[in-house]
Amino acid sequence: MCLVLTAGVWAGGWWLGDVALLPDQGASWYYWKLPEPTLWTRASAWAGYTAHQLVSWWLIFHAQRHVRTYTGGLHPVNVVALVANLGFIVLHEVQTQVFYDGLAQDVSIFSSQGSVIVLLIVVLIMENRRRGMFFGRPAPISAEITRFFRKYHGFLFSWAAVYTFWYHPMETTSGHLIGFVYMFLLLLQGSLFFTRSHTNRWWTLTLELLVVVHGTLVAVMNTGPDGLWPMFLFGFLGVFVISQMHGLGLARSTRWVLVVLHLGAAIAVYWTRSLTELDEIVRIPLIEYLVVAVLALLTWLGLRGLRLLRRPEQQREPAGRS
């Protein structure tokens, strides 16, 4: 279904026509936005995003209040979520055809990229106790923090997917189409709350690993075969061998084989480029694990602050009753 939707985006490009765009101005510049936006082009993108976001959040809230149990099939609210997401996908295509601009006109390109990275980092925190953070060993993250993210991750992940989806116009470049496949899969996952498919370890790992494919291919398209694609390929695969593969129940020997294959492939690629650049492969894992630590610390501080604020109220209640 996601491929069919992506094919629909590609077909929509036949009617999109030639849109006049400004010259590329560097890494922080998003190319696909109108040179002279209007109130209506901006409002169309923000109105569509806001409606999509609020509907998604309400459906998650409704499911948490009224469903709560997991099933092998679909709850009625899952069907509503699937139909709603499909409707907003069609709406965004129409909005692109008429007004073109996405949210990119008003917000940084790094906000779009960062939202998905935050999603992946929160998954690392949520899975810390099940599969560990470093080669099967969990990081010292409290159960309270894990419970917090497990309870509220749906709202955060919904924002990451919906925001990124509306950030871009429904363009038909290879990079956009690959990205839309990924977004459609994330929207699908966000519609399957309280189903067993939603928590299937192979399915969720696939969603995590798609960033390897997307990041690498986009890097090749943007920087060429001599560009930064190995950093993205081996960097994200580094997170796989350090953290993600340890939740699959693989034999220890199999995991070591995967580690050796990862390092061997990285050395082979950089041998043809420059071994002095081999340090590139640790940049993405290093950044992700640093952000894990910072996010876990900030969450701990926030939860502790909430407890301190609630304590006076709890102390006043018995006095009020007496």
91 contact partners, CB below 8 Å, separation of at least 6? 48, 52
52-to-106, 135, 152, 187 alpha-carbon distances in Å: 18, 38, 18, 11
pLDDT at 4: 87
Q: Decide if 6 is inside a domain.
A: no
Q: Decide if 12 is inside a domain.
A: no
Counting every residue written for the chain, the total comes to 322
Q: How many CA atoms lie within 13 A of 46 on its CB side?
A: 10
- C-alpha span between 222 and 277 (Å, rounded): 19
What is the crossing angle of helices 201-223 and 109-126, to 10°? Answer: 150
Q: Which domain holds residue 46?
A: 39-306
Q: Decide if 30 is inside a domain.
A: no
219-to-35, 213, 278, 283 alpha-carbon distances in Å: 25, 10, 17, 15
Q: Decide if 116 is inside a domain.
A: yes
Number of separate domains in the chain: 1
Q: Decide if 268 is inside a domain.
A: yes
Q: Decide if 181 is inside a domain.
A: yes
pLDDT at 315: 60
Q: Decide if 25 is inside a domain.
A: no
pLDDT at 169: 95
pLDDT at 19: 85
pLDDT tens, residue order, the chain (322 aa): 788 889 888 888 888 878 888 888 877 888 889 999 999 999 999 999 999 999 999 999 999 999 989 999 999 999 999 999 999 999 999 999 999 999 999 999 899 888 989 999 999 999 999 999 999 999 999 999 999 999 999 999 999 999 999 999 999 988 899 999 999 999 999 999 999 999 999 999 999 999 999 999 988 988 888 888 999 999 999 999 999 999 999 999 999 999 999 999 999 999 998 888 899 999 999 999 999 999 999 999 999 998 888 876 666 655 555 4
Q: Decide if 104 is inside a domain.
A: yes
